[in-house]
Structure 1
Amino acid sequence: MGSVAIVTNDGFLLSSAPNFRDLGGHRTREGRTVREGLLYRSDALHTLSEPDLTTYNGFGIRQLIDLRTSHERDRLPDVIPDGAEYAAIGVQNAEAAGANFVDLLSDPERARAVFGDGAAERFMFAVYRDLVTEDEALQGYRELVERAAKGPTALVFHCSAGKDRTGWGAALLLTLLGVEREAIVADYLVSNDRQAATDHWMRTISADSGLPWEDIAPMTRVRADYLEKAFTTVDTVYGSFDAYVAEGLGLSQATLEEFADRMLD
């Protein structure tokens, strides 16, 4: 086994996957620290440049968790690190409108109906609600936590832009580890500085669909109130975060302890 790079979550670790970053380094309420080099979050991992591949393989990643839908995975297959286990774990209904942006936005009439006149913002709030309540999301995020607790590490999980599905996954994992909400929101908002590729893609789609950029813009960024929608939905539907974890996700106390023991110094 080669040497494993020691990294921080500052800066761009992979220029061709700009939202790839380490969840390590966060402090918990109990004064412990999330270990670095074990848990990475990312945007899409299908366009890694040749220079980045050496760096990517140097992180010692042994498990890659792909949160995208089957449509996305088939269209743009991941580059899997040397020796890593690959797991496709969707967290959205593959037939839901939001799961197939490319197909939906290629139909200008449907795109205007779904996203026009301020509807994109309402759509984003619905996405975050569904990431907490839908069966696919509950099953997928349960498996993400179980794999982080029990599977080989280091681990990377990702979606396409690495901001929404991955954003809630990171918020869930960090909350389970006892990181303060303020730090979790700050980590979540870092994605906004790493969306140049998403912007380029979405501006092209905007032009092709005939939708004004301001109608599409709410989907190209994360906002604190998007994440707050997920946490509020947790409280509304389950009564508390702990109840969401135990009853919604069905995670055992033993798994949570195993996860904390593995990830915290």
Structure 2
Amino acid sequence: MSRHIPFERLHNFRDLGGYTTADGRTVRWGRLFRSDSLGKLTGEEWERFLALGVGTVIDLRYPWEIDAKGRVPEHPTFTYHNLSIEHRPYDQAGLGPDVETGPFLAEKYLEVAHDGVEELRQVVEVIATFATSTDESLVFHCASGKDRTGLVAALVLALLGVPESEIIEDFALTELATERLLADWRDDHPGQEPSWPGYGRAPADVMRLFLSALTHQHGSMAEYARDLLKIDECLIAALRRNLLEPAEEPEWPSGARTTEICRNSSAFGTAPPAGRSHAGSTSGSRGNSARITSGHGWPTARSGSPRSAPPARPPVPGNCGGTIPQPGAHSPRAPGTCTG
């Protein structure tokens, strides 16, 4: 079964089904999709999208990106959620040619993982709520379907029990869309070329370094989700029960189903109500203390860590066409041109 769903205007629309978990189960096909911006859908491609039976769309972009580039058209068959997980805009295309793709993007992902804890938790809650209540599919996306989308895909696949090697493999599939993403950028910037060679790229080292840094700080993706996102076993059970095959029925007290128990617990305490568009803009924890220093090294050791690390490289200035928020600031409507 093909993982890539062909569209003319969408370059990175993929099915997350088919991956095998550590306990031998398989992610169900046709339930969970990742994509670049759905605001590009028109005409026959819009009809093809609707035919996928999408019941929920999660847009991970900033509100100002949506204002500038548009969003998926409204339709009665699905619910739309805007949950902007990134809090510090930057311009990838404008980075210098000496910026290493792997370490730089891995560090940005680590930043998002700590800045966007509230929104990331809500993303997982929406996916779990969708999964327990319907047989329709869900799509989450950002601009290029690469960075913010790649982080969410890694989080969900890890919670489902998919091994790290397959999570990295899924991330790197965006490389197949790089040339088309570059062509879109050139169409928007006639006569120009990105100054950063890493624009539109998704080498495996990015995800490998990010997962290594997250594990170094928190022990594992699961521990990060438990400690920072406050995702409990009930929420993980709901994800696994409804997104994995075979969907074995666990034994619950008095015959209660996963859905019933989870709806009565804190796991679903902040999920947006179904059938309503939702925009999230609250800040999360600022606990990011590691820096990625090389494509093959360990993240910078924290205070008291027995592992030494190479000197941290100097921070790379970002530019998003306007004022860049200072570290720790959250400005969801700042003007700029970001990707991922």
Give the TM-score normalised by structure 1: 0.82
Distance 1:9 1:165, change over 3 A: farther
Q: Which has the higher relative contact order, 1 or 2, with Cα contacts under 8 A spaced 6 or more apart? A: 2
2:122 to 133, 143, 146: 143
Question: Is 1:10 aligned to residue 3 of structure 2?
Answer: yes
Q: Which has the higher helix share?
A: 1
Aligned partners of 1:82, 1:15: CA distance in 2, in Å? Answer: 24
Aligned partners of 1:11, 1:231: CA distance in 2, in Å? Answer: 24
Aligned partners of 2:222, 2:238: CA distance in 1, in Å? Answer: 16
| Structure 1 position 125, deviation (Å) | 3.2
Aligned-residue Cα RMSD (Å) equals: 2.2
Aligned partners of 1:221, 1:233: CA distance in 2, in Å? Answer: 20
Question: Is 1:68 aligned to residue 80 of structure 2?
Answer: no
Name 1:124's counterpart in structure 2: 105
Cα deviation, 1:93-113, whole Å, max 9, x if unaligned, reads: 1xx242xx3xx96xxxxx4xx
Q: Which runs of 5+ in 1 are unaligned?
A: 1-7, 106-110
Name 1:177's counterpart in structure 2: 160
Name 1:254's counterpart in structure 2: 234
Question: Is 1:226 aligned to residue 211 of structure 2?
Answer: no
Aligned partners of 1:241, 1:39: CA distance in 2, in Å? Answer: 20
Q: Which runs of 5+ in 2 are unaligned?
A: 246-340
Question: 1:161 touches 1:195 (CA, 8 Å); kept in 2?
Answer: no
Code of the residue aligned with 1:185 in structure 2: it is I
Of 161-170 and 175-184, more deviation after overlay is shown by 175-184
Question: 1:202 touches 1:216 (CA, 8 Å); kept in 2?
Answer: no
Question: 1:62 touches 1:85 (CA, 8 Å); kept in 2?
Answer: yes
1:41 to 31, 34, 38: 34
- Describe how 1:40-59 pairs up with structure 2 within 5 A: 40-59=33-52
| Structure 1 position 63, deviation (Å) | 0.6
Aligned partners of 2:121, 2:179: CA distance in 1, in Å? Answer: 31
Larger Rg: 2
Distance 1:22 1:231, change over 3 A: same
Cα deviation, 1:135-179, whole Å, max 9, x if unaligned, reads: x2x122211111111135411000000011101111111111111
Q: What's the secondary structure of 1:262's corresponding residue? A: helix
How many residue pairs are counted as aligned between the two chains?
Answer: 239
Q: What's the secondary structure of 1:219's corresponding residue? A: coil
| Structure 1 position 117, deviation (Å) | 4.3
Name 1:187's counterpart in structure 2: 170
